[in-house]
Structure 1
Amino acid sequence: AELATRHDLIVVADEIYGQLIYPPNEHLSIATLPGMRERTVTLNGFSKSYAMTGWRVGYLAAPRDLVAMLTEPRHTLSINTSTISQHAALAALTGPQEPFEAMFAAYAERRAWLMPALTEAGFTYGHPGGAFYIYTNVSPTGLAAPEFCERLLRETGVMLFPGTMFGDESTDYIRISYLQPLPLIQEAMGRIATFVASNAARAGS
């Protein structure tokens, strides 16, 4: 915020995961900081917090002059958001929040199970403070992430994606999502651990 103010910058803040934050972490919207409301475009939507991927509805909050500037380019992408999607988004925001809370509790349970399982399999990773991914370092296996993912799929039927697909220049990392039910995650993790052990045995022979 201090840097943006000093250099008169406009900040575009993607806060799509703002509700999916694990304690003790807290979400802080940069637009709430002193001097930032008038220079921030905040983007958000419903695909993550309310599992409404495919409904194609989101929103931005910004100063009136910036909204006016952004309206015309937006019209070149699509004319309007489906009326049904708009009503569904309103229901998500104003309706009971118990479904969201149950979904987030399930994410937290899967995260809590998956992290020690990854450690036991010999991986290192960044502890996710939010969302539903674990960025995992596969370099101890001796395989680059793209090769690791391709061989894992061919040999075990488990599909993961290398970090290079998400803009990472390093080939050391994969992104593991824990959106699936816990029993499926446990089955997949068992196959991954077996694959890692088998690969280590082949490398040592």
Structure 2
Amino acid sequence: MIEKRNDWQERLSPRVNAIAPSGIRKFFDIAAQMEDVISLGVGEPDFVTPWSIRESCVYGLEQGYTSYTANRGLPELREEIARHYADEYGCSYDADTDILVTVGVSEALDLVMRAILAPGDEVLIPEPCYVSYQACTILAGGKPVAVPAKIENEFRITPDELEEHVTPRTKALLIGYPNNPTGAIMTRKDLLAIAAFAEKHDLIVISDEIYGDLTYGGEKHVCFSSLPGMQERTILLNGFSKAYAMTGWRIGYALGNKAFISAMTKIHQYTMLCAPITAQIAAIEALRHGEKYMKKMVAEYDRRRHLIYDGFTKMGLPCFEPKGAFYIFPDITSTGYTSDEFAEELLKAEHVALIPGSAFGACGEGHVRCSYATSIDKISEALARIENFLKNHKR
């Protein structure tokens, strides 16, 4: 008779045991049990998806569009994505072979890692960065290699910093600009230098551009695959969650050469099969007629950006002025608290939820991430509460 074992944790996959739970969810869970909480932690637009986009979905349901689609997504959606990148960035993607529609950008990131990584392959990841980057690398059997970006360089990464971490096992570079959590962007000059580095070391570049439409102050997003010689080696990730306020629709896409997209599709067809048809129909409408709504939302984010930047600066918490996305990353080292301590004590004392910078990598310690994807009134009240906390709780 086989003896029963109760060591269930040890019997889990070592890769799963190697990753920590999301540092973001912890504070959401605490805040959910409290009253009168103002959240600056959610990386989600506070706008409702524009009506014309919702209406297209309703119409599709009325017409009975409830079936599977092709694994790669509706041909009409892939054609709209290809047209958008041709018109906006001068990129030429074949809708039949170079585009995969996914269940959010999160699925696209997971597919990329599983498609390209062999056990032990290293991925250079500038930090601070989105919490899923390291986890998805580990789950695919790869090794994430953190490359700290510095506040004195406005959290932009440089080839010299990358050179310090490249090894013979380095296979890919994963970049996410505009950046979550810092709000940093990379200029064309910056990215050309990164492109030269990638070519020098023959790296695959994974470019997460989900915040590409959210830039401010006259800055325009530079699509990495539009740079000379980069489209062939780049897997570009994007979606509709942030720019069109469509987080719950779970609709994203990946662009890349035929080999990359075919490999990702092979995994996708065995796991997700296809993205929901209703979300794909809504995404078509977003690309065709959603720009005017998106621009209005971006203008409102810009107004909030100025308010929150001025607020933190005036209360003595140094900030890099964000140029993209909808986050700000103030330095809280002067308070004497660690990032986690600051977030926990602020939540308890003033009922303001934000995310410790350490959740986005070790070099995020000493900072906190605040989202300004919430109303002006809530941002103003949150700033007043934070200022009160600083007066009464600084160590």
Per-residue CA deviation, residues 15-54 of structure 1 (Å, 9 max, x unaligned), is 1011101123221111111111111111100111111102
Q: Which moved more, 1:124-133 or 1:25-34?
A: 25-34
1:138 maps to a residue whose letter is I
1:20 maps to a residue whose letter is L
What's the CA shift for 1:143?
1.0
Residues of 1 paired with 2:296 and 2:227: CA distance?
A: 31
Q: 2:218 aligns with which of 24, 27, 40?
A: 24
Q: Which moved more, 1:103-112 or 1:159-168?
A: 159-168
Equivalent position of 2:349 in the other structure: 155
Residues of 1 paired with 2:364 and 2:212: CA distance?
A: 27
Q: 1:171 aligns with which of 365, 369, 387?
A: 365
2:273 maps to a residue whose letter is I
What's the CA shift for 1:74?
2.3
Residues of 1 paired with 2:242 and 2:215: CA distance?
A: 12
Residues of 2 paired with 1:7 and 1:132: CA distance?
A: 33
What's the CA shift for 1:183?
0.4
Whether 1:146 aligns to 2:333 is no
1:131 maps to a residue whose letter is A
Residues of 1 paired with 2:251 and 2:290: CA distance?
A: 19
- Higher RCO, 1 vs 2 (CA within 8 Å, ≥6 residues apart): 2
Matches within 5 A, 1:2-81: 2-81=196-275
Q: What root-mean-square deviation, in Å, do the aligned CA atoms of Structure 1 and Structure 2 show?
A: 1.3
What's the CA shift for 1:170?
4.3
Gaps of 5+ in 1: none
CA contact under 8 A between 2:357 and 2:368: conserved in structure 1? yes
TM-score normalised by length of structure 1: 0.93
TM-score normalised by length of structure 2: 0.49
Equivalent position of 1:99 in the other structure: 293
Q: Which moved more, 1:106-115 or 1:163-172?
A: 163-172
Whether 1:134 aligns to 2:339 is no
**3-state secondary structure, aligned to 1:54:** helix
1:184 maps to a residue whose letter is K
What's the CA shift for 1:96?
4.1
**3-state secondary structure, aligned to 2:359:** helix
For the structure 1 residues 72 and 175, does the alpha-carbon distance in structure 2 shift closer, same or farther, using more than 3 Å as the test?
same
